[in-house]
């Protein structure tokens, strides 16, 4: 029996999607380095380039991710107009869920304001970490911890 065109199309799509599988980061330290580099690019105003630097590690839809990069570029252009240039960044926390999820939180600092950036990575098996989320917020309340 000869396969139909739709079956051939489905097989081709499966092959094409397997070729574009995400790269992975091997360790949590690799994640910290990548997110630190991202923050350096953000500080210099290269928002889309920063997002592009993490794109190879995506474990989610790239279309939505690329849209987020464009939205962030527009948003941070407005932030710079109102708050000025960034004055630095700080690594705030690394949070984990077993050996499955890692979330890195960084603070981007301006003279009179700050923005929290969160990067969430997922490791479905032992093959490495994939980026599943990047977010930013001016809500900083949940970053406070009791002083020791």
User: Please, what is the Cα angle at 81 between 36 and 113, to 5 degrees?
Assistant: 55
Structural domain for 41, as ranges: 28-143
5 inside domain: no
* Rounded (10°) angle between helices 28-43 and 47-54: 160
Tens place of pLDDT for every residue, the chain, 148 residues? 444 443 333 333 333 333 345 799 999 999 999 999 999 999 999 999 999 999 999 999 999 999 999 999 999 999 999 999 999 999 999 999 999 999 999 999 999 899 999 999 999 888 899 999 999 999 999 999 998 8
Backbone phi and psi for residue 8, each to the nearest 5 degrees, phi listed first: -65, -40
7 inside domain: no
Side-chain-side CA neighbours of 140 within 13 Å: the count stands at: 11
Reported pTM: 0.83
Which residues touch 81 (CB under 8 Å, ≥6 apart)? Answer: none
d(Cα 70, Cα 78) in Å, to the nearest integer? 13
How far does Cα 133 stand from its chain's mean position?
5
9 inside domain: no
- How many helices (H) and strands (E) would you count in the chain? 4, 4
Side-chain-side CA neighbours of 27 within 13 Å: the count stands at: 3
d(Cα 57, Cα 21) in Å, to the nearest integer? 9
Q: What is the CATH number of the domain that holds 52?
A: 3.10.450
d(Cα 37, Cα 10) in Å, to the nearest integer? 38
Structural domains of the chain, count: 1
Q: What's the pLDDT at 126?
A: 82
120 inside domain: yes
Q: What's the pLDDT at 52?
A: 97
148 inside domain: no
Neighbours of 66 (CB within 10 A): 15
Q: What's the pLDDT at 17?
A: 38
Q: What's the pLDDT at 21?
A: 59
């Amino acid at each position: 029996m000869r396969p139909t065109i739709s079956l051939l199309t489905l097989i081709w799509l499966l092959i094409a999607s397997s070729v574009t599988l995400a790269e992975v980061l091997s360790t949590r330290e690799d994640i910290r380095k990548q997110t630190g580099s991202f923050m350096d690019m953000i500080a210099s105003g290269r928002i889309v380039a920063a997002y592009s630097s993490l794109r190879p590690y995506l474990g989610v839809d790239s279309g939505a991710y690329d849209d987020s990069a464009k939205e962030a570029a527009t948003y941070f252009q407005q932030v710079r107009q109102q708050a000025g240039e960034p004055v630095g960044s700080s690594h705030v926390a690394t949070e984990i869920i077993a050996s499955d999820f890692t979330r890195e939180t960084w603070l981007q600092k301006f003279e009179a304001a700050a923005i929290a950036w969160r990067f969430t990575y997922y490791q479905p098996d032992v093959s490495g970490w994939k980026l599943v989320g990047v977010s930013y917020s001016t809500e900083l309340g949940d970053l406070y911890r009791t002083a020791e």
